[in-house]
Structure 1
Amino acid sequence: MKKITFIAISFLVLVACRPTGKGGSEMPVKDEPYLTSVPVKFSISPKWTGTGLKRVVVNGDNSLFVLTDKGVFRDFPGEVISKDLMYSSLADKIPVDITVQEETGYLYYLYGDRYLTNMHAGKICGKFPENLYSRFAVNRIGEVLLLGDGACALYRGSDKLTEIELPDDSFIDLLVGEGRFYLLSPTTVYRLDDHQWNPVHRGEGITAMAVAGERIIVGTTDGFYEIDDKGMVVLQRNNRLPVPEINKVISDSGRHWFATHGGAYYKEGETIRYFSAERWLDQDSVIDMALDRSGNAYLLTPTGVNKILFKRETLAEKADFLQEKLRKYHLRFGFSAEARLLDPEDPTTIRLEDSDNDGLWTSFYLGSQAFRYAVTKEESARQYVWESFEPYERLLVIHPITGFSGRTFERTGYIAGDTVPWRPAIDPDWWWKGTTSTDEFVGYIFVASVIDQFVAETPEEKRRVADYIDAIMTHIISNDYYFLDYDGKPTLWGRWNPDYVNSFAETQFDRRLNSTLTIAGLQLAYKLTRKEIYKREAFRMMEEHGYLENMKIPMKNIRFTPGFQHQGITMGQDWNHSDDEMAFLTYWVLYHYAFDDTLREEYAEMINDHWEIEKPERNALWNLLTYGTSGEIDLESVIWYLREFPADTRRYKVRNSHRRDLDFLPKDSVENFREQSTRKLLPKSERPMNRHNANEFQLDSDRASNRILAGDEYLLPYWMARYLGVVE
């Protein structure tokens, strides 16, 4: 009865805190469909390997066509590009150019001696002497403008209207907009008026243009600017762009797209979204672009077609997708595991291996299912919790060390990575991994707490969780607040002894963090077992060894602190974002299992103190763990994070440090101890895909793109948001 009363009181405290947070009056946020971008990479049919890609267009039916050195290719089911054989009379012919008519989207072909379309019953076919023209465009009324080396002519239907004198021979592009034809040279924008090319605007380094209503977007070697139909500059040059050297511009409904040799991006108002290799593109050099009727973009590189698909989804739909993917491809003995592709080009070569912190990472998945069960009462969620709790329990008994939990286990002969920490298990068919650290300990107390709060319903289930924590905490207390490994010595990081904890300066977070972990574990053990030793030890550590004061060290005091080493490892000279992760997961346990309301209030203040310095990182999980304890929240950032989190959790190579649109902060400075690289945080889909222990401001990642995260990085904050009433 005491446990039930405690949980009920904790829940009432939690509910009472909700309205105090930023944006609290706006909650809950209804989970309505929102627009998100998804990469779709088309593959070239194997029979056409080595085909050279030149130009991409999309017709009025949203069919994709690519001009190649082997003819016209088109899209087929399964995101495959192959040669278009549908019209036998054209299948063996290689056009000089292809285009689509303005507004109708009808596809036109330009050959050496004619142009034609299969629309209008195939009646349109304009003929001319061989090899005069290399480019053409078709306006809304069916006028066809042909352009070649020193030659230019205007047709309508199949009939020639007139030849047109070219102003110079340095043209770089021909296009149509608002029914009018435009010709582009590196210094001039020309418009065809009354069958004559008239200069509308002169500039330098012009590379591309697009018509956007009454304005013309002019791309250059150093950004873009806008002119009106008279050629007057109405928007000054903007070169604060991801890559300012522009290859091509297209515009639709106020969204301007720019192709560069460093990827592509669109600008819509003040928003810039950047698409680059490897998440979005097969390579960075974008040579052509097209938009379909739905606003989806097709970005052509020399080696592939890459679609940026805009679709509507809900947060719940993404959760369902990631949940199913995790269950299919990321469960290893009940652990939630990062997957490795043996061949990065072949998604069927997926393999699961230990990641050195299985106990910590699995706590995110198990936690998500505990909160899911609290919200939905779905039996599958409850089943998944107990499935993933089994490996935690096995880590205690797979070896002969009483109360010590290993990192992970594997069948004999199949261990991977660092072999030093591995030892034979009691069962000769298995090996287990030692050197367990504070990371795993955080996972242990977090999963035990959420199972106790939300999943364990019978006395037997409550006892099962209590026995698990009791064994671990007994080991720690009995061994002078150390994890003792197979060699009888403390592990590198499994240390909570006062001599170790208080050896750190008050300017080092390790002092605050390890004190917090110790008290949270002791409180949890007391609440689950009611053994007085845990309560007595907690107050001894707080009162005699200063752990409570350590926990309340203001985060603003944590700073660059040279001169500290632990077993040869330099500490205090940079910020370890794993410490943030460990702290916030522990805060849930610390707050909800506090001995009394006075301590709970003190904990709330220290949690808020930490949350305040974390706010620039906009991490949904830290926000929600803070809201579920102290009651503060940055609601906008929570929703932004959840919506921006990619459904594709592969760890692609990413590069952003070259971008000219970002406001960079000084690197490696004492003032920038937390390594905030830019003034404003980039969307999750443009940054490296990382777990919650990474710096959200990390701009680049050179890791090989053969790793896939499990997706519980999203599932835990999503289901916490549902449980806490943040998302409806």
Structure 2
Amino acid sequence: MRAILLLIIVLLQSSFKPIGEENKFRQDVAVIHNSEQGLPKGAIDKMKIYNNAPLAIASEDTYQWNGNEWAKSSSTYNEQSVSHFKNLPMNSGKVLSQVSYAGRTYIGCENGLFIKVKNKKWEQILPADENYSWALKNVSALVIDSNGNLWFGSKEGIGKNTNGTWQLFTGKEGVPYNQFTCATAGPNGEVWFGTENGAIRAENDYFYYRTSRRWLPDNKVNDIAVDKDGTAWVATDNGIGQIISKEMTYEEKASYFTQQTEERHNRMGFICQNHLNEQYNIDSYELAISDNDGQYTAMYGAAQAFRYSITGDKEAKEIADRSFEAVKWLVDITSVPGFPARVIIPVDWHEPVNEQYSQEYNKRNQKNDPFWKDIYPRFPLSEDGKYRWKCDTSSDELAGHYFYYGIYYDLVAETEEEKTAVKQVVADVTDHLIRNSFKLVDYDGMPTRWGSFDPDYFNSIWGWDQRGLNSMMMLSFLNVASHVTENPKYDEVAKMLRDEENYHINAMHPKEFFPPENVVPWDNNLGLMSFYGLINYEKDPELLMMYRLSLEYAWLNISKQKNAFWDGLYGALANSFTKKVNEGYFNTSELFKENPLFAQSVIDRYGKSSLDTKYIKETLQRIPLDLIGYEMDNTHRLDILFDTTPAQKTDMGWGVDSYALPIDERGHVRLDRDAFDLHDSEGNGYSEHEGTFYLLPYYFAKYHDLIPQ
């Protein structure tokens, strides 16, 4: 974990300061300490800060952190025992916690919270506020914060007493878990609670949940200590989790992720996740391939294109140029004119790719998926014999390609040579689709598994559920082609598809949302990316109104997923529609004459964006710096509601506020995942994902003025 440790050193060089500027925020970073750093194997029982240094107590031994490693220490720390109390109330049960508050002693017991009164008797406290009145059980955590408030953690939830007034929190108020083990205070009013399943930081009456290997070496928390800088040292059954919260800016975070992507995710110009040979260890990375190298490379290139447009940074242009060349290479390398490959690898690639996708493998897959394409080899040789390219390309790849074509052409391509290259590849791919009746046709002369955009497919029992999305995508591809090449034939083809096949009507229902087996989250990704080209380059006001309706329909179904990229795409396109409304672009008396009230009703209902940009900012701020794919299970949480839709998976749901859980508390490190999936794993610690996860939504939102400049 050398790279993460170096990052921590850099973060620690900055002083602890309150945040005042709008573009600064607090970034949580976790470092795992175990036997590799000198700790004993197994449980750490206690964690203390003694003489400004962290002390870890395991069994009879004490270990001190010197900034680089843990070493056995002769330091001792005497802690007051909770076992000496006498004359406890009958049935109070075992004493679990204690604290002195306002000169009086409080004890938390198995059967209540008690205070010692003047006559040395114990009086039970029954906390109550406007919502709750509790007789407490298992009061395992008591602490006084730096502002002088008393906190407890019990079976019922968390309580805070401020000047004699109680405020009580349950799952409905955001408490994620209630089997407490300990509590400690930080220097700035925050309180940390340890539980049997993770740690909770209470800050400004909000609860941050830190669980799973992303944050801790083990979920069973035995003790927590917080140093003067606000860093939490969490003792668990399998080592120590150090959680640092430091000031950062959006741009500093972007620089970090650009460096991360360039150093560990660039394979011949292609960008995707890597493989970790040692679980959780980014230093053990090995460059990998994915089915969507073209899409992921295009999205990274788009991020850098927006960056270049905003900043003029030469590095951004170099990366954007390289990304375009890589995406274009996918088209140029294949034996079929205009057909884009999924992947390009050298012939000496370390994996036996064609053996993995044998004809026997294809036959087995067809038993579960009758449309699985039986094609061999799946990685044909390039004409020069130096590379292999993967076939059976999907609509996902096309969405990424066309999304980037328009952005690169508009924001990056400056010379005539650069613009000509974009025009050539866009024409090649679009002409391939037109020539093959709107299908991606492979080297075997047959359509790919997910590459059909033709009317016959949409009108069949096989493709009816894809006609809305794929019709919209095809019209988007043609709009991009028309804009980039300035060739009117693409407008003519789009008009034919609308007039004869009703593609624009299909596009008003751009995605299926029921039954659940028809719903996949990556359709949201490729659909919204396609909307970007469809709406930005459309000139017909009636079609713009129809597409605005379609955009709202598509986005409302995912508007609570806290996906900064999807929110950004919606916000940018909705705002562009608003701008046209304000400029008088739409003459409602001349539109939809068969129903003269329709145009005005669209403006009245959708003339303004319904986006709340605070969720873009929240997600950008809370995206972890560590993009390893961890397994994260949130199905046990108290602050969630399960999705009870018929036929839905049992582990789908959202927070009690009806929005997805925060990004740093779920296992998603890709832009095309379902944020309502409560139990997710993106590689189970054996993959690290590229920084596009932050870079694209950040630079996109910044370019479109959706976050502070």
Q: TM-score per shorter chain, which class? A: 0.7 to 0.9
Structure 2: distance between partners of 1:237 and 1:539: 58
Q: Specify whether residues 416 and 304 from structure 1 end up closer, same or farther in structure 2 by C-alpha distance, changes over 3 A only.
A: farther
Q: 697-706 or 714-723: which moved more?
A: 697-706
Structure 1: distance between partners of 2:261 and 2:414: 26
Structure 2: distance between partners of 1:292 and 1:480: 66
Q: Which residue of 2 aligns with 1:356?
A: 291
TM-score of the pair, normalised by structure 2: 0.79
Q: 49-58 or 352-361: which moved more?
A: 49-58
Counterpart among 357, 371, 375 of residue 419 in structure 1: 357
- Could you tell me how far 1:710 is from its partner in structure 2? 0.3
Q: Specify whether residues 353 and 538 from structure 1 end up closer, same or farther in structure 2 by C-alpha distance, changes over 3 A only.
A: same
Q: How does 1:305-704 map to 2 (within 5 A)?
A: 305-414=240-349, 415=351, 418-420=356-358, 421-503=378-460, 508=465, 510-553=466-509, 558-560=512-514, 573-631=517-575, 632=609, 633-669=611-647, 676-678=653-655, 679-702=658-681, 703-704=683-684
- Contact between 1:691 and 1:713, CA under 8 Å: does it hold in 2? yes
Counterpart among 208, 214, 219 of residue 141 in structure 2: 208
- Could you tell me how far 1:526 is from its partner in structure 2? 2.5
Q: Which residue of 2 aligns with 1:76?
A: 66
Output the amino acid matched with 2:504.
L
- Could you tell me how far 1:723 is from its partner in structure 2? 1.4
SS state of the match for residue 679, structure 2? Answer: coil
- Could you tell me how far 1:226 is from its partner in structure 2? 5.6
SS state of the match for residue 380, structure 2? Answer: strand
Q: How does 1:226-305 map to 2 (within 5 A)?
A: 234-235=166-167, 238=170, 241-251=175-185, 255-268=190-203, 270-305=205-240
Unmatched 5+ stretches in structure 1: 1-28, 85-89, 99-109, 111-135, 138-146, 153-163, 562-571
Structure 2: distance between partners of 1:704 and 1:554: 33
Q: 272-281 or 497-506: which moved more?
A: 497-506
Structure 2: distance between partners of 1:462 and 1:185: 73
SS state of the match for residue 290, structure 1? Answer: strand
Structure 2: distance between partners of 1:210 and 1:526: 66
- Could you tell me how far 1:341 is from its partner in structure 2? 0.4
Q: Specify whether residues 607 and 182 from structure 1 end up closer, same or farther in structure 2 by C-alpha distance, changes over 3 A only.
A: closer
Q: 262-271 or 328-337: which moved more?
A: 262-271
Higher strand share: 1
SS state of the match for residue 518, structure 2? Answer: coil
- Contact between 1:263 and 1:286, CA under 8 Å: does it hold in 2? yes
Structure 2: distance between partners of 1:313 and 1:54: 33
SS state of the match for residue 289, structure 1? Answer: strand
Q: Specify whether residues 723 and 218 from structure 1 end up closer, same or farther in structure 2 by C-alpha distance, changes over 3 A only.
A: closer
Give the count of matched residue pairs.
614
SS state of the match for residue 281, structure 1? Answer: coil
- Could you tell me how far 1:350 is from its partner in structure 2? 0.2
SS state of the match for residue 492, structure 1? Answer: strand
- Contact between 2:139 and 2:152, CA under 8 Å: does it hold in 1? yes
Q: Which residue of 2 aligns with 1:713?
A: 693
The reply to whether residue 53 of structure 1 matches residue 44 of structure 2 is yes
- Could you tell me how far 1:192 is from its partner in structure 2? 6.8
- Could you tell me how far 1:176 is from its partner in structure 2? 4.4
- Contact between 2:41 and 2:239, CA under 8 Å: does it hold in 1? no
TM-score of the pair, normalised by structure 1: 0.77
Per-residue CA deviation, residues 471-520 of structure 1 (Å, 9 max, x unaligned), is: 11111111121111122111001111111123369983x21111111111
Structure 2: distance between partners of 1:579 and 1:295: 42
- Contact between 1:31 and 1:315, CA under 8 Å: does it hold in 2? no
Q: Specify whether residues 554 and 453 from structure 1 end up closer, same or farther in structure 2 by C-alpha distance, changes over 3 A only.
A: closer
Output the amino acid matched with 1:614.
I
Structure 1: distance between partners of 2:475 and 2:268: 31
Per-residue CA deviation, residues 95-149 of structure 1 (Å, 9 max, x unaligned), is: 5xx2xxxxxxxxxxx4xxxxxxxxxxxxxxxxxxxxxxxxx34xxxxxxxxx497
Structure 2: distance between partners of 1:261 and 1:717: 35
Output the amino acid matched with 2:667.
P
Unmatched 5+ stretches in structure 2: 1-19, 126-135, 359-377, 576-608
Structure 1: distance between partners of 2:505 and 2:114: 73
Q: Specify whether residues 519 and 268 from structure 1 end up closer, same or farther in structure 2 by C-alpha distance, changes over 3 A only.
A: same
- Contact between 1:506 and 1:550, CA under 8 Å: does it hold in 2? no
Structure 2: distance between partners of 1:484 and 1:190: 75
Q: Specify whether residues 427 and 177 from structure 1 end up closer, same or farther in structure 2 by C-alpha distance, changes over 3 A only.
A: farther
Output the amino acid matched with 2:140.
T
- Contact between 1:374 and 1:454, CA under 8 Å: does it hold in 2? yes
Per-residue CA deviation, residues 675-721 of structure 1 (Å, 9 max, x unaligned), is: 65442321100011231221111111244111111011211111112
Q: Specify whether residues 204 and 553 from structure 1 end up closer, same or farther in structure 2 by C-alpha distance, changes over 3 A only.
A: closer
Q: 527-536 or 280-289: which moved more?
A: 527-536
- Contact between 1:473 and 1:525, CA under 8 Å: does it hold in 2? yes
Structure 2: distance between partners of 1:673 and 1:576: 16
The reply to whether residue 41 of structure 1 matches residue 21 of structure 2 is no
Structure 1: distance between partners of 2:165 and 2:329: 71
Percent identity at matched positions? 24
Output the amino acid matched with 1:649.
L
- Could you tell me how far 1:291 is from its partner in structure 2? 2.0
Q: Specify whether residues 554 and 574 from structure 1 end up closer, same or farther in structure 2 by C-alpha distance, changes over 3 A only.
A: closer
SS state of the match for residue 680, structure 1? Answer: coil
Structure 2: distance between partners of 1:601 and 1:148: 70
- Could you tell me how far 1:197 is from its partner in structure 2? 5.6
Give 1 or 2 for the bigger CA radius of gyration: 1
Let me know the Cα RMSD of the aligned residues: 3.2
Counterpart among 110, 113, 122 of residue 186 in structure 1: 110
- Contact between 1:506 and 1:553, CA under 8 Å: does it hold in 2? no
Q: Specify whether residues 459 and 249 from structure 1 end up closer, same or farther in structure 2 by C-alpha distance, changes over 3 A only.
A: same
Structure 1: distance between partners of 2:191 and 2:313: 46
Output the amino acid matched with 2:110.
P
- Contact between 2:137 and 2:156, CA under 8 Å: does it hold in 1? no
Q: Specify whether residues 444 and 388 from structure 1 end up closer, same or farther in structure 2 by C-alpha distance, changes over 3 A only.
A: same
Q: Which residue of 1 aligns with 2:154?
A: 220
- Could you tell me how far 1:618 is from its partner in structure 2? 2.8
Output the amino acid matched with 1:199.
W
Q: Specify whether residues 335 and 250 from structure 1 end up closer, same or farther in structure 2 by C-alpha distance, changes over 3 A only.
A: same
Structure 2: distance between partners of 1:246 and 1:479: 63
Q: Which residue of 2 aligns with 1:567?
A: none
- Contact between 1:174 and 1:182, CA under 8 Å: does it hold in 2? yes
Q: Which residue of 2 aligns with 1:722?
A: 702
Per-residue CA deviation, residues 649-687 of structure 1 (Å, 9 max, x unaligned), is: 1111101111112233315457x9996544232110001
Structure 1: distance between partners of 2:178 and 2:651: 30
- Could you tell me how far 1:36 is from its partner in structure 2? 3.0
Structure 1: distance between partners of 2:51 and 2:666: 34
- Contact between 1:267 and 1:273, CA under 8 Å: does it hold in 2? yes
Per-residue CA deviation, residues 351-392 of structure 1 (Å, 9 max, x unaligned), is: 111111101111110001111111111222111111112222
- Could you tell me how far 1:263 is from its partner in structure 2? 0.9
SS state of the match for residue 424, structure 1? Answer: coil
Structure 2: distance between partners of 1:590 and 1:680: 28
